[in-house]
Structure 1
Amino acid sequence: MEGVRLRHGPVHPAPQGSGGVVTTRPVLVRSLRTAALGVVLALTMLLVPNSSVNPTDSALVRVPRAEGVDLSPDVIWILALGSDARPGQSVTRSRADAIQLVGINTRTGAATSIGVPRDSWVGIPGHGNEKITAAMYFGGPKLMAKAVGDLVGIEPDYVMVSSFWGLRHMVDAIGPITISSPVAFSDPHLRPQGFRKGRQQVGGMGALAFSRTRKALLRGDFDRSANQQRTIRAIHAKIRAKQAKPGFIEKGVLAVLTNMDAQVPPAELYRIAQAITQVRPGRITTCVVLGGIGNVGGASVVFPNRSQARRYGHDARKDATIRSC
């Protein structure tokens, strides 16, 4: 597999005179070092045989490559997005609720994920400065790939998108997963009975509630993002327990062709699926792009640390490993 696109575009400064009062304060976003990431939300679709997920719930899009990049041919880069689409809305033209740029080293089994806050204030090609979450709404997965590529310095080979309802169906398809919550919390709408502190089994609806709850958490969106990663780890653990079954990957690829809007050939799907199952938990690193919270035109935004984002991309582009966050 050839290298992926590496963008060297200009770094956009924090907005000045944007029409609203701009204030900033430091935000400390927890970085998970060498934790077992597994795969990001939508990637699990590749490994869920006989899934009942509808094509409208998920999509896999290949991103055109640029020439002359200095990236390892062993690394696959996938931008995994949790779409904020509600039932009946387009999963690829709604705002991106969860944003993870994932690199998988097919030779070593290493993997890394670079998390981007959904409210990061960035330049979106053709649309000026906006929250990065809006890029998919404006121009679909490929524009989202460009926006993330401009920030991190690596544009992905693929963009995989899944709705949160797709998550619910995926978990129901593979059976209950075991999540681990650092705190007890509840949501009166999604899960009135709440979650206790520690390990517990949940089905599809429980996984959805655990991944979507925000207001009950101390750090809001940042804690919700961490819970999404905990859900991902639980799903991956379930998949790893089943991957030795004969035909598991092949059935998973067939499920994608049946239940996902997959705009890539079956051979590419099979290679991605193999790469996911070969990820070694002890060789996984994750980092989140830090920044400051501010206000633009009355809306709360995150001003990302652009030099840090580029450092992550530079560090990981050859071997899918980030040395330090």
Structure 2
Amino acid sequence: MRLFKRIVTLAVVLGIAALVIPDSAVKPTEMELVKLQRASGVDADNKDIVWILAVGSDARPGEDMTHTRGDALQLIGMNLKTGAASAIGVPRDSWVPIPGYGSNKINASLYFGGPQLLGQTVGNLVGIQPDYVFVTRFKYFQALIGSIGGVDVKNPVAFSDSALKPEGFRKGRIHLGPYDAMVFSRIRHNLIRGDFDRSANQQRVIRGIQAKVRARAHEAGFLEQGVLNVMQYLHTDLSPAELFKLAQAVAQVDPSKITTCVVQGGIGSIGGASVVLPYTDQARRLGDRARDDATLESCS
């Protein structure tokens, strides 16, 4: 009964927000949520699995975040029936074919063709075309972490960065505030496996966000205020009804049923730039395993 009341309240808040905040003119757009062309999304009948490509844009102030290079790429699947979820991390420097633009680093597809092309490019690598692409700036990401009171992650190995975090992060369970969550997700140079370990750290932060939201969802006004905050900064082509259904899907994820993997690859140099040469066979195996139920039994 309590869950039903929260869902009803959330639906009302979404409806009111859609009326009083009709577009991104109130405040600068910090997030973009688009439905990919030909994607069915949560509105489709018998749609049990929903896929969202989450992207952290490295756009500078004044730049269009939907046409810069993506810094973080996570393909997230949610099973609306079982509550399972999976995340497939794609290193941003992966050298892949980009439809209509030859081969380049995979994050360049956001610059060339926006969320639609990035979604298509990641989908071609993994074999799962996302239903939605969600893009956010790292500045708003920090605000999000602050609004939920930070996140807890289990860090497998101590690491630091002389510019971003000289004192570093210790091994073990640690609490991350807004700035620390951002740099924890972005540092790669002193990680053992560079881009691959960074992608895994991004998944740890995503787990932390989901766990914190789930833990605080019972607090009066927590979900409602969160929705209002998001709506003020969000530009989207989704209807309020579809946004509500998508919010339901996220809320129903069971933390014990979340599985994550990162697409692996070799390190090479093309045109003088360091690139990741992704193991495409492994990427397709991950897609095949997760496609039907949003679970990953192994990462090999």
Using structure 2 for the length normalisation, give the TM-score: 0.83
Q: Note if 1:212 corresponds to 2:212.
A: no
Q: Provide Cα deviations, 1:106-148, integer angstroms capped at 9, x if missing partner.
A: 1110111111111111111110011111000111100001101
Would the aligned equivalents of 2:89 and 2:203 in 1 still touch at CA under 8 Å?
no
Distance 1:72 1:323 in 2: 24
Q: Tell me: higher relative CO, structure 1 or 2? Use CA pairs within 8 A at least 6 residues apart.
A: 1
Aligned to 1:253: 227
Distance 2:73 2:266 in 1: 18
Aligned to 2:3: none
Aligned to 1:154: 128
Would the aligned equivalents of 1:171 and 1:207 in 2 still touch at CA under 8 Å?
yes
Distance 1:84 1:117 in 2: 14
Would the aligned equivalents of 1:85 and 1:95 in 2 still touch at CA under 8 Å?
yes
Among candidates 184, 207, 211, match of residue 158 of structure 2: 184
Given the superposition, is the C-alpha separation of residues 248 and 288 from structure 1 closer, same or farther in structure 2, using an over 3 Å criterion?
same
State the Cα distance separating 1:209 from its structure 2 match: 2.0
State the Cα distance separating 1:217 from its structure 2 match: 2.1
Q: Matched residue of 2:133: which SS?
A: strand
State the Cα distance separating 1:250 from its structure 2 match: 4.1
Aligned to 1:243: 217
Count of residue pairs brought into register by the alignment: 272
> Partner amino acid for 1:241?
A
Distance 1:249 1:158 in 2: 22
Aligned to 1:8: none
Distance 1:84 1:293 in 2: 22
| Bigger mean CA offset, 308-317 vs 152-161 | 308-317
Among candidates 245, 251, 260, match of residue 271 of structure 1: 245
Structure with the largest fraction of helix: 2
State the Cα distance separating 1:59 from its structure 2 match: 0.9
Point out where structure 1 has 5 or more consecutive residues left out of the alignment. Answer: 1-45
Would the aligned equivalents of 1:81 and 1:97 in 2 still touch at CA under 8 Å?
yes
Spell out structure 1 runs of 4+ moving beyond 6 A.
Answer: none
Distance 2:254 2:277 in 1: 33
Q: Note if 1:314 corresponds to 2:291.
A: no
Q: Matched residue of 2:66: which SS?
A: coil
Distance 2:39 2:181 in 1: 38
Q: Matched residue of 2:67: which SS?
A: coil
Q: Matched residue of 2:29: which SS?
A: helix
Point out where structure 2 has 5 or more consecutive residues left out of the alignment. Answer: 1-13, 18-26
Aligned to 1:65: 38
| Bigger mean CA offset, 305-314 vs 163-172 | 305-314
Aligned to 2:22: none
Given the superposition, is the C-alpha separation of residues 107 and 129 from structure 1 closer, same or farther in structure 2, using an over 3 Å criterion?
same
Aligned to 1:127: 101
Alignment of 1:131-142 (within 5 A): 131-142=105-116
Distance 1:64 1:317 in 2: 19
Aligned sequence identity (%): 56
Aligned to 2:88: 114
Would the aligned equivalents of 1:178 and 1:202 in 2 still touch at CA under 8 Å?
yes
Distance 1:273 1:187 in 2: 35
Q: Provide Cα deviations, 1:190-213, integer angstroms capped at 9, x if missing partner.
A: 233322222232321121222222
Alignment of 1:21-60 (within 5 A): 55-60=28-33
Q: Provide Cα deviations, 1:38-83, integer angstroms capped at 9, x if missing partner.
A: xxxxxxxx9xx9xxxx64322111111169xxx9611111011111
Q: Note if 1:89 corresponds to 2:89.
A: no
> Partner amino acid for 2:32?
A
> Partner amino acid for 1:274?
Q
Distance 1:216 1:86 in 2: 24
Q: Matched residue of 2:293: which SS?
A: coil
Aligned to 1:171: 145
Using structure 1 for the length normalisation, give the TM-score: 0.77
> Partner amino acid for 2:33?
L
Alpha-carbon RMSD: 2.3
Would the aligned equivalents of 1:55 and 1:261 in 2 still touch at CA under 8 Å?
no
Would the aligned equivalents of 2:79 and 2:294 in 1 still touch at CA under 8 Å?
yes
Q: Provide Cα deviations, 1:265-319, integer angstroms capped at 9, x if missing partner.
A: 1111111111112111222222222222222122222222222222222222221
Among candidates 204, 209, 221, match of residue 195 of structure 2: 221
> Partner amino acid for 1:227?
N
Q: Note if 1:262 corresponds to 2:251.
A: no
Would the aligned equivalents of 1:186 and 1:193 in 2 still touch at CA under 8 Å?
yes
